[in-house]
Amino acid sequence: MDDPDHALAELYAGDPSTFTTRRAALAKELQAQGAQDAATRVQTARKPTLAAWVVNRFALDHPDVVETLFELGAELVAAQRRALAGRADELRALTGRRRDVVSTVAQRAIEHAHELDVRVSGAVGEEVRVAFDVALADPEVAMLVRGATLERAPAPAAGFGPLEGIHAVGDAPSVRASATSSSKSSSTGVTDLKADRKAAARARAIADQQARVDELARAARTATKELDRARREAHALDTEVDATRAALRDLEATLETLALRAQRAATAVASAERTHADAVAEVKAAEARLDELTAET
């Protein structure tokens, strides 16, 4: 086997239903070749979740697209460094671009899974987006994504992540340099260190706040969509109510007409009954008179 790492990536990105079988076969092949370390890595590999599989498959088939994420990551690191000097406009612009690029890559990965006849739910799709997003800030996750060996989607990141190139207090060059200088230089170094720490905190606060703004903006867009949907539904119901009321008015008018006609018919029936009664009385009177005349003869 020429490239154990590629074989391991193929294991993670292959058909999840055959993962266990393929893992055992790959480990056996590596052992036969004397690659014990690689075989151990394969044997301890865990079956990836569906979201991780989507990321792995896409990273293996389209590494050039995934690489655009890490190119953006390098730009973000540089922008964060410049933000320490108070130039935060570029960082804010790149943060918005980060959201767009991550969403685009995640959508392409989901569509790639669909092309392979694998259905991806909305929840799994969000895990895919989070995995690509975290890969920008977390070097370990980035390594797994690049190598197509992600086992599960990481938890969402807050902000962009730690600032690269910013030293811890104990490792700050200014402190080390000042240790061999005069007391005045030491005081200046401490002042510079405090300024660096304050600037770093400010940059982190900017990144965190931008992430919060992005989150609220997404929530606002979702709320706007729900409001539009509710308004359309309310408009449709208003139209239906108006149509029902119009139909009800027509029915009431018809009912009123029928009631009037029924009243007239009842009056006619009563009049006809009186005429009939009068006619019957007249017939009886005529018959009685006839009987009298007949009796006289």
pLDDT tens readout for residues 98-124: 788 889 999 999 999 999 999 999 999
pLDDT tens readout for residues 38-50: 888 888 889 999 9
Q: Is residue 261 part of a domain?
A: no
Q: Is residue 277 part of a domain?
A: no
Q: Is residue 283 part of a domain?
A: no
Q: Is residue 260 part of a domain?
A: no
Q: Is residue 246 part of a domain?
A: no
Task: Give the chain's radius of gyration (CA, Å).
Answer: 43
Q: What is the pLDDT of residue 203?
A: 53
Q: What is the pLDDT of residue 247?
A: 87
Give me the mean pLDDT over the 20-41 stretch. 89
Q: Is residue 291 part of a domain?
A: no
Q: Look at 20-29, 52-61, 66-75 and tell me which has the smallest mean pLDDT.
A: 66-75
Residue 177 or residue 70, greater confidence = 70
Tell me, yes or no, whether 172 and 189 share the same domain. yes
Q: What is the pLDDT of residue 193?
A: 45
Tell me, yes or no, whether 13 and 92 share the same domain. no
Give me the mean pLDDT over the 213-231 stretch. 81
pLDDT above 90: residue 199 = no
The last residue of a domain, from among 213, 231, 249? 231
The last residue of a domain, from among 210, 231, 252? 231
Give me the mean pLDDT over the 32-43 stretch. 87
Q: What is the pLDDT of residue 204?
A: 53
Q: Is residue 139 part of a domain?
A: yes
In eight-state DSSP terms, residue 48 is P
Tell me, yes or no, whether 135 and 77 share the same domain. yes
Structural domain span for residue 10: 1-46
For the chain, give the mean pLDDT.
Answer: 78
pLDDT above 50: residue 190 = no
Tell me, yes or no, whether 160 and 42 share the same domain. no
Tell me, yes or no, whether 23 and 4 share the same domain. yes
Tell me, yes or no, whether 73 and 26 share the same domain. no
Cα torsion through 45, 50, 52, 54, rounded to 10: 120
The number of domains in the chain is 2
Cα–Cα nearest to 152, from 16, 12, 52 = 52
Q: What is the pLDDT of residue 172?
A: 32
Residue 164 or residue 91, greater confidence = 91
Q: Is residue 239 part of a domain?
A: no
Q: How confident is the model at residue 82 (pLDDT cuts 50, 70, 90)?
A: low
Tell me, yes or no, whether 72 and 92 share the same domain. yes
Q: By the 8 A CB rule, do 62 and 108 touch?
A: yes
Structure tokens at 191: 């002042």
Tell me, yes or no, whether 38 and 60 share the same domain. no
What distances in angstroms separate CA 130 from CA 69, 103, 115, one per listed residue?
13, 9, 21
Residue 176 or residue 128, greater confidence = 128
Tell me, yes or no, whether 14 and 147 share the same domain. no
Name the amino acid, one letter, at 282: E
Tell me, yes or no, whether 120 and 221 share the same domain. yes
Tell me, yes or no, whether 99 and 56 share the same domain. yes
- Interior angle at CA 182, CA 178 and CA 183, nearest 5: 85
Tell me, yes or no, whether 23 and 148 share the same domain. no
pLDDT tens readout for residues 254-292: 898 898 898 998 999 999 999 999 999 999 999 888 888
pLDDT above 80: residue 233 = yes
Cα–Cα nearest to 148, from 31, 1, 7 = 7
The last residue of a domain, from among 215, 231, 247? 231
Q: What is the pLDDT of residue 180?
A: 33
